[in-house]
């Protein structure tokens, strides 16, 4: 064997050794990388599983909407609500959907959905002050108009709104809607049933249930619901509560309460309008 051949052989052996080492190293690295990836995937899986479990628990705990929170007629809550409402509107003229003197110089149109919780916050928050300060002294009248937002079923929306308007035929609509808001159930829980509406009607002092039941079939009220929706659409309203305010008889402008619980923005607007 020539020295050159021996050198070549040595080189090849060396190369083979290096190659083997490199392969071993690559394999070890691949194994390590594989193990690390498996660990990471496990950690990701654990985190994701925990999150799924927690979300399901929250969903179950916060309710799928099976509870009916509406108070029973004759219960302490219902009686208290009836007392509050009577104290608020008693002695104030009512006609149809209007609360307040027919000759009041300013008119506020209140677009609401009886199942809307924000309308409830407003009705129980800022509205009593508005009624006491402006409606009772005859300076403002409020027209309640309907716009479907929170109520899931259009049929239910129509049913409850017509029930309110039918009470208006006996000049008791505001008692009915105030009671509705005071005793409002959990949103989308399906609490608005015939029994619930009857229960509210029974709490309105002096309401003839027989006439109310007959009036609920009147086409006039169904038309009124449709014309309210049209008016809301014309004004560009998509949410509730929404308001139009202006001098009685003139074209009203959009009005926004700065807070659901504070009437100061309306007070300022009223003072300006009454100038």
Partner 1 sequence: MSARALRITLLVLAVIGLGIASYLTYVHYAGIKPACTAGESCTKVQTSIYSKLAGVPVALIGLLGYIGIVGSLLVPQGETTRLATMSFTVVGFGFSAYLTYRELFSIHAICEWCASSAGIMTILMCLSVWRFLRGDDPSLGTGPAHLGQNAGHESSATLPGAY
CB 97 within 8 A of CB 147: no
The residue among 211 and 259 lying less far from partner 1, judged by its C-beta, is 259
Q: How far apart are CA 120 and CA 123, in angstroms?
A: 5
State the Cα–Cα distance between residues 19 and 171, nearest whole angstrom: 98
The verdict on 47 binding partner 1 (CB under 8 A) reads: yes
* Interface segment toward partner 1; rule CB under 8 A; list 31-39, 70-78, 207-215, 244-252: 31-39
Min dist. Cβ of residue 39 to partner 1 (A): 9
Identified binder of partner 1 from the candidate list 52, 209, 268, 274, rule CB under 8 A: 52
| Subset of 125-144 contacting partner 1 (CB under 8 A) | none
| From candidates 101, 149, 169, 224, binder to partner 1 by CB under 8 A | 149
The residue among 50 and 209 lying less far from partner 1, judged by its C-beta, is 50
Cβ neighbour number for residue 163 with a 10 Å cutoff? 26
Minimal distance, residue 171 CB to partner 1, in Å: 30
Q: Are 93 and 127 in contact (CB under 8 A)?
A: no
Cβ-based nearer residue to partner 1, 101 or 161: 161
Which residue bears the tokens 């496990």? 42
Can you tell me the distance from the alpha carbon of 94 to that of 162, in angstroms, rounded to the nearest whole number?
Answer: 17
Q: According to the binding rule CB under 8 A, does residue 40 interact with partner 1?
A: yes
- Nearest Cα neighbor of 116 from 80, 84, 82, 146 is 146
Return the DSSP state at 135. I
E-strand ranges in 113-163 read: 140-146
CB atoms within 10 A of CB 11: 10
Angle, CA 218 vertex, CA 178 and CA 73 arms, to 5° = 35
Residues 182 to 211: which contact partner 1 by CB under 8 A? 186-188
Whether the bond between 241 and the residue before it is cis, its omega within 30 degrees of 0, is: yes
Per CB under 8 A, the segment of 70-78, 163-171, 174-182, 257-265 that binds partner 1 is 257-265
Between strands 106-112 and 140-146, the pairing is parallel
∠ CA 153-157-163, nearest 5°, is 145
Interacting stretch for partner 1, rule CB under 8 A, among 40-48, 76-84, 133-141, 215-223?
Answer: 40-48
Count of residues in contact with partner 1, rule CB under 8 A: 39
Using CB under 8 A, which of the segments 12-20, 54-62, 75-83, 156-164 binds partner 1? 54-62
Does 231 participate in binding partner 1 (rule CB under 8 A)?
Answer: no
Based on CB atoms, which residue is closest to partner 1, 129 or 248? 129
Interface residue list for partner 1 (CB under 8 A): 29, 33, 36-37, 40-41, 43-44, 47-48, 51-52, 54-55, 58-59, 62, 65, 116-118, 121, 149-150, 152, 186-188, 237-242, 256, 258-261
């Amino acid at each position: 064997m020539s020295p050159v051949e021996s050198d070549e052989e040595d080189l090849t052996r060396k190369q083979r050794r290096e190659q083997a080492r490199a392969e071993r190293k690559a394999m070890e690295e691949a194994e390590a990388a594989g193990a690390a990836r498996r660990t990471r995937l496990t950690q990701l899986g654990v985190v994701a599983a925990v999150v799924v479990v927690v979300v399901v628990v929250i969903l179950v705990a916060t309710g799928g909407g099976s509870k009916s929170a509406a108070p029973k007629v004759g219960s302490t809550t219902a009686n208290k609500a009836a007392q509050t409402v009577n104290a608020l509107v008693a002695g104030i003229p009512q006609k149809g959907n209007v609360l307040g003197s027919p000759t009041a110089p300013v008119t506020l149109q209140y677009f609401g959905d009886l199942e809307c919780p924000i309308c409830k916050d407003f009705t129980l928050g800022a509205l009593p002050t508005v009624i006491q300060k402006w409606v009772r002294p005859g300076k403002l009248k409020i027209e309640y108009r309907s716009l479907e937002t929170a109520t899931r079923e259009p049929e239910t929306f129509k049913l409850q709104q017509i029930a309110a308007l039918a009470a208006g035929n006996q000049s008791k609509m505001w008692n009915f809607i105030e009671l509705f808001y005071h005793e409002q159930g959990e949103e989308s829980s399906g609490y608005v049933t015939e029994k619930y509406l009857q229960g509210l009607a029974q709490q309105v002092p002096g309401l003839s249930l027989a006439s109310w039941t007959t009036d609920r079939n009147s086409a006039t009220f169904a038309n009124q619901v449709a014309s309210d929706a049209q008016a809301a659409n014309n004004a560009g309203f998509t949410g509730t509560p929404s308001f139009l305010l202006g001098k009685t008889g003139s074209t009203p402008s959009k009005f926004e309460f700065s807070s659901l619980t504070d009437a100061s923005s309306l007070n300022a607007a009223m003072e300006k309008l009454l100038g």
